[in-house]
């Protein structure tokens, strides 16, 4: 039942063939049976979900149900839901419950989606595998030795394992599209500002977007249509009218102009993925699409630019987790004892020393942390994981006086050039096609010790976030290693209809 599309569930409920409660029960059974292994959900509340299902059932029967009636959903643990744990898979937010609903949650509920639980992710959405989580790694339902991709790995796996029929993730550099590719599902990153970020815990505020995962393009379109649109709570959200995305995918246009950027099909791309995508493009061409070779010359600077700007923004955004206002706080008494002992040791040493050494020790005593600063440091040291700490260090480094111009300032200028590449390209084409990721999902544990290798998994997704444009990944085939891979379509700002149209054409080739 959880493989049915949102519209199918709704139709079957209306015809009496199904009760919505049974679909939610089916979701519970799937999760009970498989979540121990897959580790997609980190929290569920079926009592609430079943109650909601009964309410929506009534509405469907009386013809008053909203657009999302029939959706049984999971939400990435970075999007606030009232009175539910919102931990961003971090120890620093262990036990934290949100006091309000993110705008996307409000909109989904208002349109009668049923939400069953919260989904695993890389801590604070930093990562490409969903291994950096306080809950442990999620596993790829297509092969449980493999990663799901990340950071929205739980959101992708929950769809691939048929636990729910739609989910939400967030995408800062590829975190929706890349796991969608690894797990063989549809994932869409909207244009920056298309969907309100109110209630999304910020990673890199000028890159973050919330978007849907689903089994098929139409369901992704349906979720997007509901969550998109201006929100007075987010002043970066756009007043651009929301498109009729569902209608678009129900009547897709075949004669579209598809830009094929040479820079995305070169070194590092798995040859089988390359061939597969070229074969798909050939079929689209046979059906009426026009393939246009294009160039995006600044692509090669994408990863470097992203990891300077995103870490800079992250270091600032994560400053709020200080052990005072939210979540984890170090054991205060132990910390004070430790501080006192250090102070006494220093004082003793000062007494015993003389000359230059004495002066140095005295200076050290003066530099000692205040109790407050020590509380911040210890709480953060204990609460944040390794990768998050790495990002904070990188980010504070590139923002520090003396390095700011060389790194942050320069990266901002390169970001502008990347954006310009896309603006120019979209004068010629409707969409740009690329592989979603250079490889299929790899073994759990194989890249965790090599951050640079890990960062390269985002090579094809990152520039859409740098440019603020939209992108979708749709399954394109299965590799001889048995794992799925996706094809990505990028569209100009607010051209979600065009990328959904293209994704639907690929889906129709099956
Ligand atoms: N993997 C990228 C990173 O670690 C992107 C993450 C994301 O999109 N949230 O920053």
Kindly report the three-state secondary structure assignment for every residue of 384-426: CCHHHHHHHHHHHHHHCCCCCHHHHHHHHHHHHHHHHHHHHHC
Residue 400 falls inside a structural domain: no
Of 235, 280, 241, 190, which is closest to residue 510 (Cα–Cα)?
Answer: 280
- Supply the Cα-derived Rg of the chain in whole angstroms: 24
Query: What is the extent of the structural domain holding 20?
Result: 6-304+418-509
Residue 463 falls inside a structural domain: yes
In the prediction, which pLDDT does 451 show?
Answer: 87
Whole-number Å distance between alpha carbons of 429 and 499 = 12
Kindly name the residue from 128, 133, 151, 209 that is annotated as catalytic. Answer: 151
Whether residues 300 and 428 share a domain: the answer is: yes
Note the pLDDT tens digit of each residue in 189-244: 999 999 999 999 999 999 999 999 999 999 999 999 999 999 999 999 999 999 99
The phi, psi pair for 249, rounded to 5°, reads -75, -20
Q: Which of 383, 405, 431 is the last residue of a domain?
A: 383
Kindly name the residue from 98, 133, 167, 175 that is annotated as catalytic. Answer: 175
Q: Is 203 in the pocket of ligand 1 (CB under 6 A)?
A: yes
Would you call 76 a catalytic residue per the annotation? yes
CATH of the domain at 112: 3.90.1300.10
Whether residues 353 and 476 share a domain: the answer is: no
Residue 316 falls inside a structural domain: no
Q: Is 310 in the pocket of ligand 1 (CB under 6 A)?
A: yes
Ligand 1 atom nearest the C-alpha of 170 is: 9
Q: Is 132 in the pocket of ligand 1 (CB under 6 A)?
A: no
Note the pLDDT tens digit of each residue in 407-443: 999 999 999 999 999 999 999 999 999 999 999 999 9
Q: Is 78 in the pocket of ligand 1 (CB under 6 A)?
A: no
The model's pTM is 0.97
What's the gap between Cα 152 and its chain centre? 5
Whether residues 214 and 279 share a domain: the answer is: yes
Task: Report strand pairing: 114-119 vs 290-294.
Answer: unpaired
Cα-based distances in Å from 82 to 86, 391, 454: 9, 29, 33
Residue 510 has pLDDT above 80, yes or no: no
Note the pLDDT tens digit of each residue in 454-499: 899 999 999 999 999 999 999 999 999 999 999 999 999 999 999 9
Whether residues 456 and 489 share a domain: the answer is: yes
Residue 437 falls inside a structural domain: yes
Q: Give me the number of domains the chain comprises.
A: 2
Whether residues 257 and 138 share a domain: the answer is: yes
Whether residues 199 and 261 share a domain: the answer is: yes
């Amino acid at each position: 039942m959880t493989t049915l599309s949102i519209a199918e569930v709704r139709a079957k409920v209306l015809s009496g063939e199904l009760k919505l409660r049974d679909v939610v029960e089916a979701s519970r059974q799937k999760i009970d049976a498989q979540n121990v292994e897959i580790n997609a959900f980190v929290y569920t509340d079926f009592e609430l979900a079943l109650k909601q299902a009964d309410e929506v059932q009534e509405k469907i029967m009386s013809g008053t149900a909203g657009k999302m009636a029939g959706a049984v959903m999971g939400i990435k643990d970075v999007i606030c839901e009232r009175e539910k744990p919102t931990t961003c898979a971090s120890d620093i937010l262990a036990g934290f419950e949100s006091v309000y609903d993110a705008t996307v949650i409000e909109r989904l509920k208002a349109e009668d989606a049923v939400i069953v639980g919260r989904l695993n992710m890389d801590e604070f959405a930093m990562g490409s595998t969903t291994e950096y989580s306080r809950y442990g790694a999620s596993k790829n339902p297509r092969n449980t030795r493999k990663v799901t991709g990340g950071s929205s790995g739980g959101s992708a796996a929950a769809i691939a394992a048929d636990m729910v029929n739609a989910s939400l993730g967030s995408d800062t550099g590829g975190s929706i599209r890349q796991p969608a590719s690894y797990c063989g599902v549809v994932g869409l990153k909207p244009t920056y500002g298309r969907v309100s970020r109110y209630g999304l815990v910020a990673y890199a505020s000028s890159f973050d977007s919330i978007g849907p995962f689903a089994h098929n393009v139409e369901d992704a379109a349906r979720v997007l249509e509901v969550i998109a649109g201006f929100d007075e709570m987010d002043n970066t959200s756009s007043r651009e009218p929301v498109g009729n995305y569902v209608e678009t995918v129900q009547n897709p246009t075949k004669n579209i102009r598809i830009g094929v950027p040479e820079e995305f099909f070169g070194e590092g791309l798995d040859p089988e993925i390359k061939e597969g995508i070229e074969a798909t493009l050939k079929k689209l061409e046979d059906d009426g699409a026009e393939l246009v070779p294009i160039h995006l010359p600044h692509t090669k600077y994408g990863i470097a630019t992203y990891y300077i700007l995103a870490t800079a923004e992250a270091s600032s955004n994560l400053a709020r987790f200080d052990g005072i206002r939210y979540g984890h706080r170090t054991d205060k008494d132990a910390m004070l004892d430790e501080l006192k002992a250090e102070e006494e040791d220093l004082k003793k040493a000062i007494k015993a020393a003389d000359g230059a050494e004495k002066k140095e020790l005295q200076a050290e005593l003066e530099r000692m942390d205040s109790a407050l600063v020590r509380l911040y440091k210890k709480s953060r040291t204990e609460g944040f994981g390794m990768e998050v700490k790495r990002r904070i260090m990188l980010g504070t480094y590139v923002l520090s006086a003396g390095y700011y111009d060389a790194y942050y300032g320069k990266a901002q200028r390169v970001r502008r050039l990347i954006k310009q590449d896309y603006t120019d390209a979209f004068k010629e084409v409707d969409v740009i096609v690329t592989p979603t990721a250079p490889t299929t999902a790899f073994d759990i544990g194989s890249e965790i010790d090599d951050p640079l290798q890990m960062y390269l998994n985002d090579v094809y997704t990152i520039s859409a976030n740098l440019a603020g444009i939209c992108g979708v990944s749709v399954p394109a085939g299965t590799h001889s290693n048995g794992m799925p891979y996706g094809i990505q379509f990028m569209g100009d700002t607010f051209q979600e209809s065009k990328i959904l149209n293209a994704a639907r054409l690929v889906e129709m080739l099956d």
